[in-house]
Chains A and B, each alone.
Chain A
Amino acid sequence: MSADLSELYQQVILDHNRRPRNRGKLPTANRVAHGNNPSCGDECSVYLQLDGDRITNLSFDGSGCAISQASASLMTTQLKGKTAAETQKLYDDFHHIVTTGEAPEDISDLAAFAGVHTFPARIKCATLGWHAALNALKGDPLPATTETHKD
């Protein structure tokens, strides 16, 4: 397997794809947003339990490629307890990682997605769950779609 491909499919990504965390509907959720990627059919719903603008619990559900599912799974492990502003900051960092391959030192598991940047067609897979989460935070009733949101 090439270096680029093993960089893309890191162990942490494969692990989240095989054993997704926080998957399924969240009964206590008070916000939900659905994301889809019309060009490939990937779907991702993100359920948030919000206390003010702080995420106290969250989950995701959907179907798609390993990158999209692992990214959404990993995201749910990172956002618990975060405020809307902190979530946006984390997404900005994540977006920087998947588009440039450069990861800040303090960024933990999200750095596993650095390999995505050499596969530009897959960036939208990695960001799908994040778009849905940001929309759920905004209370945006529209489905998030990778075609109208900038990656």
Chain B
Amino acid sequence: MSDLARTRADFPILHQQVNGKPLVYLDNGATSQKPRAVIDALVHYYERDNSNVHRGLHTLSMRATDAYEGARTRIAKFIHAADPAEIIFTRGTTESINIVARSWAQAHLKPGDVILTTEMEHHSNLVPWQQAAKAAGATLNYIPVLGADAEGGLDYAALDTLLTPAVKLLAFTHISNTLGTVNDAAELCRRARAVGAVTLIDAAQSIGHAPIDVQTLGCDFLVFSGHKMCGPTGIGVLYGRRALLDKLAPDETGGGMVVTVTYEGANWKPSPERHEAGTPNVADAIALGAACDYIDTIGREAIAAHDHHLGAVAMEKLSAIPGIRIIGPRLGQPRAGLVSFGFPDVHAHDIVTFADEDGLALRGGHHCNQPLMRKLGLTSTTRASFYFYNTAQEIDVLVASLRRIQKFFVG
């Protein structure tokens, strides 16, 4: 057992029975569980410091403001942003992408321009660009995935023809939530920059799973959700280079983001206030800062190594089940800590319902990846996704459950 198994003690939710069996939570790609430290940060805030930020001169308001801005600084450090003002708090990855797809795209896209993305994007990094392209009369192009099971990852050779000067923005996922593919984010940013395109990295699946350094990645925007990195739901981040954020028109307007308001009009503060109209999600931002602290006490290198270990163990054991089809990187190739698979005779939803009987939390469906599923000739897969508190023994529970399910349906 990995020494990271000791972290299980930090997660109250993991110590329960589901359907009479110990909970085996393998749905971390959807959301991670929360350690006591993060839950305590929420409780502490509401019990001790709750107040509105940026506008009060009383003690509680100053405490709340310090904690909120402290969280911004903490998160800036977590991803190596140059300046805390580059961290905009949002509701999550989806909202962060939508802000860029509306505000940035509106100001910069003209008819004939191209937005480039990939064939493996989550709907959240796909539909907003479809909308932005439509609104601007621009074209949305896709970097293809290679192989019948997308085992080849992105077709980097296709960049030679796809990355033209007409490309104004490249948006791509760091880690595919469906395939487990780890994209070469730094290389993609470097290539995009060479043609003058702005880059956006969807780090929803990589944040909290690996060291993230926006300086070495060389991206213009990076987006993620707090709830997939031990933080609360309803809080996420839009990172953007300061020069871009200070020029970006606010997507929402209202209190807190203005300098002067007259009956005739208003003007905006610089980032980050410019992009945070209204009372922000103070409590969850503070708890996200606590999540950064917690994750860094474990160490993201150690987490990444553990993810890759569990991914490899799962690949090896699942590959041995007759009839299974696993999509994404092949056995022996690098993959993130998740495995998506299917059986010809058993539907993913039947698998998930049966596995629940064994205490297993799995995800079944199209994983908000409908176009990719269609390309692979699938309607759904079952996904097991890991985090540092999962163990190799839990993968044994998964494999035993799958064998039982297969026996039941196929005989």
User: Nearest-CB distance from B180 to chain A (Å)?
Assistant: 19
Q: Residue B347 at the A interface, CB < 8 A?
A: yes
Instruction: Give the segment of B69-77, B138-146, B349-357 that binds chain A.
Output: B349-357
Contact yes or no, A65 B365, CB < 8 A = no
- Least CB separation from A64: chain B residue: B347
When A1-B357, A39-B365 are in contact, do A65 and B19 touch as well, CB less than 8 Å? no
User: Nearest-CB distance from B299 to chain A (Å)?
Assistant: 37
Chain B residues with Cβ below 8 Å from A5 are 353-354, 357
Residues of B within 8 Å of A, CB-based: how many? 18
Contact yes or no, A8 B365, CB < 8 A = no
Bound CA span A8–B370, Å:
28
User: Secondary structure of the B side of the interface?
Assistant: helix
Q: Residue B291 at the A interface, CB < 8 A?
A: no
Contact of A122 among B353, B370, B373, B409 (CB under 8 A): B353
User: Nearest-CB distance from A124 to chain B (Å)?
Assistant: 11
Bound CA span A66–B347, Å:
7
User: Nearest-CB distance from B400 to chain A (Å)?
Assistant: 14
Bound CA span A1–B357, Å:
8
User: Nearest-CB distance from B388 to chain A (Å)?
Assistant: 29
Contact yes or no, A66 B350, CB < 8 A = yes
Contact of A65 among B349, B357, B373 (CB under 8 A): B349
Contact yes or no, A64 B409, CB < 8 A = no
Contact yes or no, B347 A65, CB < 8 A = yes
User: Secondary structure of the A side of the interface?
Assistant: mixed
When A66-B409, A122-B349 are in contact, do A41 and B365 touch as well, CB less than 8 Å? yes
Q: Residue B53 at the A interface, CB < 8 A?
A: no
Bound CA span A69–B348, Å:
13
Contact of A8 among B353, B379, B380 (CB under 8 A): B353
Chain B residues with Cβ below 8 Å from A63 are 347, 379
Q: Residue A61 at the B interface, CB < 8 A?
A: no
- Least CB separation from B346: chain A residue: A66
Q: Residue B364 at the A interface, CB < 8 A?
A: yes
User: Nearest-CB distance from B103 to chain A (Å)?
Assistant: 28
Q: Residue A67 at the B interface, CB < 8 A?
A: yes
- Least CB separation from A5: chain B residue: B357
Q: Residue B366 at the A interface, CB < 8 A?
A: yes
Contact yes or no, A41 B353, CB < 8 A = no
- Least CB separation from A63: chain B residue: B379
Contact yes or no, B409 A65, CB < 8 A = no
Chain A residues with Cβ below 8 Å from B354 are 5
**Interface positions of B from 353 to 378, Cβ below 8 Å from A:** 353-354, 357, 364-366, 370, 373
Bound CA span A119–B364, Å:
15
Bound CA span A67–B346, Å:
11
Interface string of B1-40 (1 = CB under 8 A from A): 0000000000000000001000000000000000000000
Residues of B within 8 A of A (CB): 19, 346-350, 353-354, 357, 364-366, 370, 373, 379-380, 408-409
Residues of A within 8 A of B (CB): 1-2, 5, 8-9, 14, 17, 39-43, 63-67, 69, 119, 122, 125
